Amino acid sequence: MRVRASIGTLALLNIIKAEQVELPTTAYVLLHSDDGCMAECAFCPQSRVSRASKSLVSRVSWPEVDLELLVERIKYSSVLKRICIQSVIKDNSFDDLLRIITSLRDEGVAKPISVSTTPIDYSSLNQLKDVGVDALGIGFDAATPEVFKKVKKPYSWEEYIKFLNESIEVFGPKKVYVHLIYGLGESEVEFLKSIEYFKGLGVNISLFAFTPIKGTSYEHVVRPNILSYRKLQILKYLMDLGVDISNYYTVKGVKVIIDKSLVEEVINNLNHYCGGFITSGCPGCNRPFYNESVTGPHYNYPSRIFLQRNIEKLVGELRELFNERE
């Protein structure tokens, strides 16, 4: 059986030779389909309607690989801590998903497995739990029902919410990860309200920044403002830490203005807050350069070490947030 795996995963496992600045500690695996995904998400190269290479997810290349070889290499890797399997909509996608998981377990791979999927039925959710899936990712991607419709996500917002509630029931909220992409057309305030809504349900948020990919219908849409993204990262991180953020920002039209003292606090204690700027996802998720080129701007830093190397740039961006108040 053929699957795809991110180029960093394949380089780490010595299946291909590729220069990588940062190597992941999670194996990223994607269901394979020659035609891509049957959905029509406007920003996604996997969509069957995009002209982009089907080896791309966001800006990262995912070459094809034989499942048996991949499982064999994962089995003997001491570096990998988790396996993340992402689905696409295609015939028999759930069967493929189960086959990948079963192959891993049959070979004795006991590492935790995350699955990221579009809505599936309740019994399939239970099946995933039964075969040992440890965390469930849900690609809402769009933060509001309006944007959801505009970017042509499959199913409906309501179906996704129903699926989210069922996932919470089956896995528990702490094991559910909602993927949100900032920059698909919503305002800062709308995006923040969406984060607050999902956090209120007790689930985790994996935060991404929109990246235009050639060949998709959003190829000419501009990337989001990095300062807007920094604000959302800071407030989301505070929420992750269990802080009530209501006293730390004000709303000015469609903009979120972060309290000056909070910005100062973040700059002065970057060691404590740097987790907010690092790739967010399941435990240990460090998919490198999903949103950005190696040279930046770095919306999500893949690791603390990489962030430290680029800390002056980050501090410069954070200082710019002071000007917003004028």
Query: How big is the chain, counted in residues?
Result: 326
- Show the tokens assigned to 259: 């309290």
Q: Which of 6, 33, 93, 118 binds ligand SF4 (CB under 6 A)?
A: 118
DSSP conformation letters of 239-262: HHTT--GGGSEEEETTEEEE-HHH
Using CB under 6 A as the binding rule, whether residue 291 contacts ligand SF4 is answered as no
CA distances from 66 to 15, 73, 75, 116, 319 (A): 10, 11, 14, 20, 48
Cα gap 80→12, rounded to integer Å = 9
Strands 26-31 and 2-5: antiparallel
Using CB under 6 A as the binding rule, whether residue 47 contacts ligand SF4 is answered as yes
Q: Which of 89, 128, 274, 307 binds ligand SF4 (CB under 6 A)?
A: 89
State the number of binding residues for ligand SF4 (CB under 6 A).
12
CB of 44 to ligand SF4, least distance (A): 3
CB of 50 to ligand SF4, least distance (A): 8
Contact pattern from residue 252 through residue 281 relative to ligand SF4, giving x for each residue in contact according to CB under 6 A and a dash for the rest = ------------------------------
Span 142-161, contacts to ligand SF4 by CB under 6 A: 154
Using CB under 6 A as the binding rule, whether residue 93 contacts ligand SF4 is answered as no
CA distances from 51 to 58, 62, 184, 213, 262 (A): 13, 16, 19, 10, 44
Q: What amino acid is encoded at 30 in this protein?
A: L
Using CB under 6 A as the binding rule, whether residue 184 contacts ligand SF4 is answered as no
Residue whose CB is less far from ligand SF4, 86 or 103? 86
Using CB under 6 A as the binding rule, whether residue 44 contacts ligand SF4 is answered as yes
- DSSP β-bridge partners for residue 278: 301
- Show the tokens assigned to 159: 């179906």
- Contact residues: ligand SF4, CB under 6 A: 37, 39, 41, 44, 46-47, 88-89, 118, 139, 141, 154
